[in-house]
Structure 1
Amino acid sequence: MAGFLDNFRWPECECIDWGERRNAVASIVSGILFFTGWWIIIDAAVCYPDQKELNHAFHTCGVFSTLAFFMINAVSNAHIHGDTYGEGCLGRTGARLWLFIGFMVMFGSLIAAIWILFGAYVVPGNPVYPGLSVFFQNVLIFFSTLIYKFGRTEELWG
């Protein structure tokens, strides 16, 4: 599954060679999504500074999503497949376990953001923008993680 974007074909354009720029494009798109997610929650925190409007504990979802971003992208695809020269601390099993825990934290943060949106804002009838900002922050960090992990290739030297 690590290379599911390997067969993705960019639209043919003779002016740009996308094959050589795949890592750069994936990194830039991922960075823009990550930045936008944090920008949205910072905007909501500035617009709703009161604890009753935007509970400060709701920022925890974004912090854990960011932590999961680093956990997921700390493991290379070669470690997961067992193609590395050194075994490391726990080898391939440890790398897979670390990746699994990272995805569990990411999905847990996303589910918590959905719960915050509906449980604290939609159902009680409060202003919805703070809940949407928490949700969109976590969704954008989630897609940023997926693009950065699976959108790049690890072949550094041809």
Structure 2
Amino acid sequence: MSTKIIVLSDTHGDKRFLKEAVHLLKGKDLLIHLGDNYDDFLWLVNQTNIKGYAVKGNCDPYSNANEVEVIQIEGIKIMLTHGHNYGVKSGLLNLLYCGLEKDADIVLFGHTHVNHKEVSQEVTLLNPGSPVLPRGGTSSYGIITVDGRDFSCEIKK
């Protein structure tokens, strides 16, 4: 049985989107929120009773969430971070090295508001972009499907 995960970042308290996101979560097993607005994550979990994980972003100074989390879903290790502490607006090398040190299969990050997916040194780097304040493109979010040791990552617009 596979696990379907929705990945959000940089929702910035947009109430209109949050109401739409309740429908996006139907049929999903897990929510991951990568910061910049941690309260949005809490609201969605309370509205839907979905299980989830979240990290705080640079716009979440009062959150008690961690800045980095490493979770295991079935046989896949996933690192979560907002990305601002790794300089992701200038490049992804620091982020990649951290993911390699943590033996992650997938590294999830936000902060740039630009969706991005690449595989480097057998690590999948995924930024779901922003569903409310996209930079240089279309509103987006991520979907990860995990089935044992197999997984797929995609960006939905």
Give the TM-score range, shorter chain: under 0.3
Q: Which has the higher contact order (CA 8 A, sep 6+)?
A: 1
Question: Which structure carries more strand by proportion?
Answer: 2
Larger CA Rg, structure 1 vs 2: 1
Which TM-score applies when normalising by structure 2?
Answer: 0.24
Greater per-residue helix proportion: 1
TM-score, normalised on structure 1?
0.24
